[in-house]
Structure 1
Amino acid sequence: MTVKQKFTVLLIDDSPEILDTLGALLSEDYRVLAARDGLAGLDIATRRPQPHLILLDVMMPDVDGYATLARLKENPLTRDIPVVLLTSLTDSVNEEHAFELGASDYIAKPIKPNVLKARVRAQIEAWQAREFLRTQNDQLKANLLRFEADNDLTHASAIRILAHMSGMRDNATGQHCERVQDFVWLLARLLREHHRFKDTLTNDYIDVLVQSAPLHDLGKVGIPDRILLKAGPLEAEECEVMKSHARLGWDAIEQVERELGRSAPFLSVTKEIARSHHERWDGGGYPDGLGGDAIPVSARLVALADVFDALISRRPYKEPFSLDEARDIIAADRGRRFDPDVTDAFVAHFEEFVEVVEKYPERG
């Protein structure tokens, strides 16, 4: 029988009544520790097992919440622990000061029990995602270090493994990776002589682009299953969490670059695809709201390839569109979601994309 991990929450408040109230609210789901002042809280936070989250009152005598937060973020042992400030000081100046010091969230008093529980749960899930992603980063770094010494087959296999790891999180099939890779290769080949793309789409760049394309959703390893696998429509807050996979993918590759002390074309292209493949030509995408030629060429090609394959694939929340329906949806978004010239290449050579679909049909 597997025992569910009980995460630890540290409460720091000078009011015994508040400590008792918050402890009672959270103790059913979490291991709760308590401190009556900032210094005691700082001491508890450095002990093992360390808390996964700290709820910190701002208005305390001697060492107030802001000073305590600053010390937590200065200490290498505690700086990565998320801290949520609890305060009746709800003006924008105090709120901005809290986030400047490194607070993860800011809850106004009087505290509403359901709001507190929801915010604590969100912070714990974010902590779990970061830890999972950190583990994946270690594996990713190890694989990437071996890529340069291995032959082409081993290189391609390692990339495919990483792509499958991210795809398995949302039940995407291996065929998705192969199809997106071939779609991107087709688009790059069709556009490499185009005046807008020929300076970028060199043979070497296309090779790297095709290798990188299957890793566009790498950041999904950091999205909670309750959101990633939800069969129905997502709530607004859940949508924001889902959107964070673009930044998570970027962060994963950037951390690998920092730890390696260098970058490489494969890493650079993978990173820009992971971050920007949900940007829109009209500027309405995420995470940066880029538009037009400000969106990297790699991300523009992967965006169309990924959306086309998503449209024709079965997902927990939808049935597949027909090939013709998917083509028409893509064409209707010319100049809105997709680069007009990329869209035109796709529509003009649609039969070649159909051949890729037939080459990699869904299994089962």
Structure 2
Amino acid sequence: MSPLLPKQCVLVVDDSPDNIELLSEVLRDDYRVRVATSGEKALKIVYSDEPPDLILLDIMMPGISGLEICRRLKTNPDRRRIPIIFVTAMGSTEDEQRGLDTGAVDYITKPISPPIVKARVRTHLALYDQSRELERMVRQRTLELLTTRQQIIRRLGRAAEFKDNETGNHVLRMSHYARLIALAHGMGEEAANIIFNTAPMHDIGKIGIPDAILLKPGKLDPAEWEVMYRHPVMGAEIIGKHDNELLETARIIALTHHEKWDGSGYPQRLAGEAIPLEGRIVAIADVFDALMSVRPYKAAVSLEAALQYFDEQSGRHFDPTLIAAFKSALPEILRIKEIYADENGALTDLEFHIKEIYHHKDSPPGYPAIIASTQTGL
């Protein structure tokens, strides 16, 4: 073993001090050995912050038996991969089968043969190392695939920006707002992060709107509004249907963020909880930032006026329960608004600015950069 690497840890569990001493003597030159004389002590060590790499476990012990310890560990997702080798005087074929069926990787009968113990421990630790390395590689590849999907979403969001006549950090802000509303509503961190990562795609359908309508400096006439009303459907078609949760959430948000709680929105005139939760959340985040931002066709409204509007539209445009979550998250939302104000310049690299926004304990892992896109007023 390389001197630069710490020795692997083997936990020896036996109610007999003589057996513990014998096994410790066999292993201590090659491994760090921890010992437990009861099932209770063994579980405390296994569930500690530094669990062993392998367990040598007696079966017949007072209190919790070795078989019960094995069963408990194999039902625990955080500890079930630790290899367990039974070392016991119970030597019948039926005993051995029972031990292996419980989840042990090997079965050694007493009296032990030191070369056999060394060989079995070495083999199963090597297999355990290979298993952990494979899991690490799978996690890394999964993260790479997730990052690739996030990059695609950001690039498409950037494409929508090129069709728009508004500039600034609107998409960056409203993505944060949506995440904060989701958390305040009681959604978990993972679900809130999915909304954060997919909200930038909400107006991707504007790519399909003719420039003469999208960039018109004045008000749209009824025929032009009919075209504009189609951009959620266009957005959903651009993204397409997917089994992948990230892309499917992006499609749902693009399609439903203009629906209204009372059924008067578009394009499907959905009402109430028939509108997907993600769309209802993004609707609030989108409209709040549009109200509070300067646009070529309007001035920004005050915070008081914006809150009055949300009170008036609670139960009409917006889900009343989510309005309560929005107000709960308002202090953090206003902090995001200040950090990513348009006058501060385009802040498109979220990773660079993440420490300004979240305490380390609150920062979700792998938080991506979000490309600022624009217009939500329509």
Name the TM-score, length of structure 1 as normaliser: 0.53
Please list the CA deviations of residues 211-254 of structure 1 after superposition, one character each: whole Å capped at 9, or x if unmatched.
11111001000001111111211100001111110000011122
Indicate the residue corresponding to 1:163 in structure 2: 157
SS in 2 for 1:150: helix
State which of 277, 289, 292 in structure 2 corresponds to 1:312. 292
State which of 221, 227, 230 in structure 2 corresponds to 1:235. 221
CA distance in 2, matches of 1:153, 1:264: 13
Asked whether the equivalents of residues 179 and 357 of structure 1 are also in contact (C-alpha less than 8 Å), the reply is yes
State which of 245, 256, 276 in structure 2 corresponds to 1:276. 256
SS in 1 for 2:144: coil
Q: How does 1:1-364 map to 2 (within 5 A)?
A: 150=144, 155-192=149-186, 201-254=187-240, 257=241, 263-363=243-343
Task: State the identity %.
Answer: 40
Asked whether the equivalents of residues 250 and 271 of structure 1 are also in contact (C-alpha less than 8 Å), the reply is yes
CA distance in 2, matches of 1:158, 1:272: 16
Q: Which has the larger radius of gyration?
A: 2
Please list the CA deviations of residues 279-325 of structure 1 after superposition, one character each: whole Å capped at 9, or x if unmatched.
00000000111000000000000000000111112223212212322
Q: Evaluate the alpha carbon distance shift between residue 281 and residue 340 of structure 1 in structure 2; reply closer, same or farther with a 3 A threshold.
A: same
CA distance in 2, matches of 1:249, 1:282: 23
**Counterpart amino acid of 2:209?**
I
CA distance in 1, matches of 2:313, 2:324: 11
SS in 1 for 2:216: coil
CA distance in 1, matches of 2:214, 2:188: 36
Q: Which has the higher contact order (CA 8 A, sep 6+)?
A: 2
Please list the CA deviations of residues 237-284 of structure 1 after superposition, one character each: whole Å capped at 9, or x if unmatched.
001111110000011122xx4xxxx52101111111111000000000
| CA-CA distance at 1:330 after TM superposition | 1.7
Asked whether the equivalents of residues 203 and 231 of structure 2 are also in contact (C-alpha less than 8 Å), the reply is yes
Please list the CA deviations of residues 17-76 of structure 1 after superposition, one character each: whole Å capped at 9, or x if unmatched.
xxxxxxxxxxxxxxxxxxxxxxxxxxxxxxxxxxxxxxxxxxxxxxxxxxxxxxxxxxxx
**Counterpart amino acid of 2:286?**
D
Please list the CA deviations of residues 128-158 of structure 1 after superposition, one character each: whole Å capped at 9, or x if unmatched.
xxxxxxxxxxxxxxxxxxx967376665444
Name the TM-score, length of structure 2 as normaliser: 0.51
Asked whether the equivalents of residues 204 and 235 of structure 2 are also in contact (C-alpha less than 8 Å), the reply is yes
| CA-CA distance at 1:170 after TM superposition | 1.7
SS in 1 for 2:270: coil
**Counterpart amino acid of 1:162?**
L
Q: Evaluate the alpha carbon distance shift between residue 275 and residue 151 of structure 1 in structure 2; reply closer, same or farther with a 3 A threshold.
A: closer
User: Structure 1, unaligned stretches of length 5 or more?
Assistant: 1-146, 193-200
Asked whether the equivalents of residues 231 and 317 of structure 1 are also in contact (C-alpha less than 8 Å), the reply is yes
Q: Evaluate the alpha carbon distance shift between residue 213 and residue 346 of structure 1 in structure 2; reply closer, same or farther with a 3 A threshold.
A: same
| CA-CA distance at 1:348 after TM superposition | 3.6
Q: Evaluate the alpha carbon distance shift between residue 165 and residue 221 of structure 1 in structure 2; reply closer, same or farther with a 3 A threshold.
A: same
| CA-CA distance at 1:167 after TM superposition | 2.5
Asked whether the equivalents of residues 323 and 354 of structure 1 are also in contact (C-alpha less than 8 Å), the reply is no
